[in-house]
Amino acid sequence: MPHGSDAAASNGAPVVVSPGKIILLNGASSSGKSSLARILQATLPEPFWHFSIDHLNAANVLPQQRIDRGEFRWHDLRPYFFEGFHRCLAALVQGGNNLVVEHIVETEPWMKRLLFLLADFDVYFVGVHCALPELERRAIARGHRKLGEARADYEVTHTFGTYDFEVDTTSEQSDEIAATLVAAWKTRRRPSAFERMAAREERL
Residue 65 counted as domain residue = yes
**What pLDDT band is residue 3 in, cutting at 50, 70 and 90?**
very low
pTM of the predicted protein model: 0.90
Residue 6 counted as domain residue = no
Q: Which domain holds residue 122?
A: 19-203
Residue 1 counted as domain residue = no
Residue 76 counted as domain residue = yes
Concatenating the DSSP letter of every residue in 100-155 gives: EEEE---SHHHHHHHHHHTTTSEEEEEEEE--HHHHHHHHHHHSSSPTTHHHHHHH
Q: Is the pLDDT of residue 166 over 80?
A: yes
Domain of 161, CATH number, reads 3.40.50.300
Q: Is the pLDDT of residue 46 over 60?
A: yes
Please tell me the total count of domains within the chain: 1
Residue 4 confidence (pLDDT): 45
What are the C-alpha distances in Å from 147 to residues 13, 26, 137, 170, 172?
Answer: 51, 20, 10, 19, 21
Q: Is the pLDDT of residue 130 over 80?
A: yes
